[in-house]
Amino acid sequence: MLKTEVMQLKKFFLALRQSSTYLLAIVLGAILAVGAYPVLPSQAGSVPTTLAQRSSIPNMANPSSFVTAAVDRVGPAVVRIDTERTITRRIDPLFEDPAFRRFFGNDAFSQLPQERHLRGQGSGFIIDRSGIILTNAHVVDQADKVTVLLKDGRTFQGQVQGADEVTDLAVVKIDGKDLPTAPLGDSNQVKVGDWAIAVGNPLGLDNTVTLGIVSTLQRSSAQVGIPDKRLDFIQTDAAINPGNSGGPLLNSQGDVIGINTAIRPDAMGIGFAIPVNQAKGISSQLARGEKIQHPYLGIRMITLTPQLAAENNQDPNSPFMVPEVNGVLVAQVLPNTPAAASGMRRGDVVMEINGQAVTTADQLQRIVENSGVNQSLQVKVQRDRQTSTISVRTGELPGATS
């Protein structure tokens, strides 16, 4: 009887050990399954399983690599531009009066400095291997001496070939050969939210790179606070500081999409760049020293809405009543201008130009700028309660430089 009980106990422990082995295998299998889950395809098939699929995923372990590649591509073509300008001071005729000289002595005013040297700094980038450099007009404005410093340490004397104040663009030439160049992109393809990389020499700190995005497009120069320009800027939050002016704004591929030009001193993290397509159209003319023609009408204008018109008409001190419509109010007609010669008047509201509806001053400005000089425009205006069409022939904006 005892022998039989012993055999039963052996069978029990053997079965128990086998069950434990199976249980351990199940647990280990579950652990391995959980650990392997992230690399297995989901039911939706969204996780790549082939080598080709996995290679298309961005390397998030090094997200800045596209910036490095873009700067490596363009950086050697970005230059620093140092300028010098000599200002001659005129001595007040009062100091030449013999009575003053007898009182103070003949040599009292001979020590006054009659010349003063002003120095400036900006950026630019090479667009032709022979040494054609694109920059801002205000960087080289009235400069007597222009010195160009390349990233590799070479220094050249630059010659301003041409400048256009209206678009704030200029071309500088240096005597070089096989110089590095910056590839020009297409600013018409830029979208809000695209990466924006600013390269330049801000605050005297050479070869500085900042990263941001394109905040908005077609920000008019009037909105930026520089109404004497005719530009629709690319707005970016990439840091642009004094000294960045004239440097390139790049996309994620390293193509130039803009020329950094303006900052708002009263705003944080907002910069502006001239679309590169604007520069493409006139850079060759500037390189040849040609004057850039800009058409104009000769009016001061304000965007009009029914609400603004109603407020004006309710003001007892208003100089005139205006129609309560959407359009562009002519606030002033400048004398001896195409608008004055055509019979346009203060208080007219422009509704259409050549059959195209006009609702903002910026829109009217773009239409005129794109029309060309000496072109006839059919301008539909509302005057009081009457609507009429006035023919205006555009003139050349005076004061443009070359």
Instruction: Tell me the pTM.
Output: 0.70
- Determine which of 20-29, 126-135, 289-298, 334-343 has the lowest per-residue pLDDT on average: 20-29
Q: How far apart are the C-alpha atoms of 261 and 331, rounded to whole Å?
A: 29
Q: CA nearest 230: which of 376, 371, 372, 362? A: 362
pLDDT at residue 213, rounded to an integer: 93
| 327-333 and 248-250 beta bridge pairing | unpaired
Distances (CA, A) of 225 to 32, 128, 265, 402: 64, 33, 11, 24
**β-strand partners of 134:** 125, 171
Q: Does the pLDDT at position 51 exceed 70?
A: no
Which of residues 334 and 384 earns the better pLDDT score? Answer: 334
Average pLDDT over residues 123-141: 93
Which residues are annotated as catalytic?
Answer: 138, 168, 245
Helices (H), 198-356: 221-224, 276-287, 306-314, 338-342
pLDDT at residue 185, rounded to an integer: 93
Average pLDDT over residues 41-48: 38
Q: Specify the 3-state DSSP secondary structure of 233.
A: strand
The 10 Å CB-count burial string (b at 16+, else e) for 229-261 is bbbbbbbbbbbbbebbbbbbbbbeebbbbbbbb
Residue 164 in tokens: 């256009």
In the chain, the domains with their CATH numbers are 71-173 (2.40.10.10), 187-284 (2.40.10.10), 295-396 (2.30.42.10)
**β-strand partners of 391:** 378
CA 276 to chain centre: 9
Please identify which residue in the block is written with the tokens 């086998």.
18
Contact (CB, 8 A) for 320 and 398:
no
How much is the mean pLDDT over the chain?
Answer: 79
Q: Does the pLDDT at position 122 exceed 50?
A: yes
Kindly indicate the confidence band of residue 335, based on its pLDDT and cuts at 50, 70 and 90. Answer: very high
Q: Does the pLDDT at position 293 exceed 90?
A: no
DSSP H or E run through 175:
none
Q: How far apart are the C-alpha atoms of 91 and 95, rounded to whole Å?
A: 7
Instruction: Give the tens place of pLDDT for each residue, 207-219.
Output: 889 999 999 898 8
Residue 213 in tokens: 């995005």
Contact (CB, 8 A) for 267 and 301:
no
Q: Does the pLDDT at position 171 exceed 90?
A: yes
Which of residues 248 and 1 earns the better pLDDT score? Answer: 248
